[in-house]
Amino acid sequence: MMAPGPNGSAWKTRPQQRLERRATDMAENDQAFKLLEDGDEFALSAGQGGFRLRNKSEGTCAELQDEDAERFRADYEELRTRSPDWAPDQVLAQLWDQGGYGWLAKEEGEAP
């Protein structure tokens, strides 16, 4: 907890302000994406001509655009066709790990 400043209000440090700004930017950007799959560990959204694959437990996100988005769509559709009974976390974890999309991830709120 922060100590009150001279006028009685709590001052925010620059890192706190940056984190709050990033969280606000992410929330506004999230509105442009439609949630396709949501599990306990992973989530997949589509929008703005690409995909967003989130690893919730690690707080990371892969923003997939252009060729990466096209490759992801093909991999995702193939995996969904081969394993229609898999839960969202199973499908998305497979793509994250074996599909290699985890390598494209950045900490959430970081510029792509």
* Residue-wise pLDDT tens digits, 11-48: 555 555 544 554 444 444 556 889 999 999 999 999 98
Residue range 53-98, pLDDT digits in tens: 999 999 999 999 999 999 999 999 999 999 999 999 999 999 999 9
Which H/E stretch holds residue 62? strand 60-64
Q: What was the pLDDT predicted at 66?
A: 95
Q: What is the DSSP letter of 4?
A: B
pLDDT at residue 22 in the model: 46
Q: What's the pTM?
A: 0.70
Question: Is pLDDT larger for residue 8 or for residue 40?
Answer: 40
